Amino acid sequence: MRMGLWLAVAGLSAVVCVAEEPNKDAASEKLPPREVTIKKATDKITVDGKLDEESWKNAEKLPIDMLHAKGQKIEPVGYARMTWDSTNVFIAFEVLDKTVQAEGDKRDNANIMPPNDVVEIFIDINNDPEHFFELHVNPLNAFNDLFIVRPRPESPLGKRMMFGLMFLNEYNLKDYETAVQVQGTLNKAGDADQGWTCEIRIPFESLLMPQGQKVPVPADVWRVQLVVQDGSSANRYVNWSPDYDVWYHHAIDNWGRVKFAP
């Protein structure tokens, strides 16, 4: 990744990043993005990291089993689930991890560098490549949130950036909830953990919904990527939907398609 200029946009700090062009050799072998229709919650979800509500039991388990940038399927390193109600979208992870590690326990300070563990969520609610959210949660329940802009190719900025992105690092998602549960002992070497679970509630009104629209309608499609990062594994990043992007997870066209059931 090549760094460009720091900018100030709407009072927020931003950095323009120019990524290397993805490898196109495997383009003809690409698997299609995954798709899921998520059910509406049937009971009240308490965000405690336990995933014991009927709504979670009825939600489809989405395997996190695609090696990042390779399109190679492996044994799942965990599963994600999604559901929604009249005001929120809920996302949960069940991570399989024998060595649960994390550093940082406050807002915007989850360390995502090895050997730390984290789950990552990428959400494009408009089903286009122009802007999206990137969220991280670690086993200490630290939460990172970024708003990322990808200028249109025909714009002057887009032409200068090429494969570029603007990270609004000081963006803060409003009224969210997260909770984690560790099945084992956090940050203790030499023992065998089972993994950890993570539960997230995101109000629709915090996601810059289209003007006048408070909730998704059944015809809406979001682009979503779900990632497990195991900082102690050789396979550091494993995705839900095949990615093929050599520069992290920002190839929006490859993200999974999420539809909302009535």
pLDDT at site 163? 58
- Asked whether residue 35 is assigned to any structural domain, the reply reads yes
Give the N- to C-terminal CA distance of the chain in Å, as an integer. 41
3-state secondary structure of 119: strand
- Asked whether residue 7 is assigned to any structural domain, the reply reads no
- Asked whether residue 26 is assigned to any structural domain, the reply reads no
- Asked whether residue 131 is assigned to any structural domain, the reply reads yes
In DSSP terms, 182 is beta-bridged to 196
Which residues are CB-contacts of 194 (< 8 A; sequence separation ≥ 6)? 96, 97, 98, 183, 184
pLDDT at site 227? 97
Q: In b/e form, how buried is each residue of 40-57, taking b as 16+ CB within 10 angstroms? A: ebeeebeeebebebebbe
Number of independent structural domains in the chain? 1
Which secondary structure element, helix H or strand E, spans residue 54, and what is its range? helix 54-58
- Asked whether residue 161 is assigned to any structural domain, the reply reads no
Are the CB atoms for 244 and 251 separated by under 8 Å? yes
Which residues are CB-contacts of 234 (< 8 A; sequence separation ≥ 6)? none
62-63: strand order across its sheet: 62-63, 78-84, 88-96, 195-203, 177-183
Q: Could you list the pLDDT tens digit for every one of the 262 residues in the chain?
A: 333 433 433 344 444 444 434 444 444 578 999 999 999 999 999 999 999 999 999 999 999 999 999 999 999 999 999 999 999 999 999 999 999 999 999 999 999 999 999 999 999 998 887 889 999 999 999 999 999 888 777 777 766 655 577 777 788 999 999 999 999 999 998 889 999 999 999 999 999 877 777 888 877 899 999 999 999 998 999 999 999 988 778 888 899 999 999 8
Which residue range is the domain that position 238 belongs to?
31-142+172-260
CATH code for the domain of 42: 2.60.40.1190
- Asked whether residue 151 is assigned to any structural domain, the reply reads no
- Asked whether residue 78 is assigned to any structural domain, the reply reads yes
Which residues are CB-contacts of 121 (< 8 A; sequence separation ≥ 6)? 91, 133, 134, 135, 136, 200, 224, 225, 226, 227
- Asked whether residue 11 is assigned to any structural domain, the reply reads no
Beta-carbon count within 10 A of 19 CB: 18
Are the CB atoms for 79 and 61 separated by under 8 Å? yes
pLDDT at site 224? 97
d(CA 118, CA 232): 11
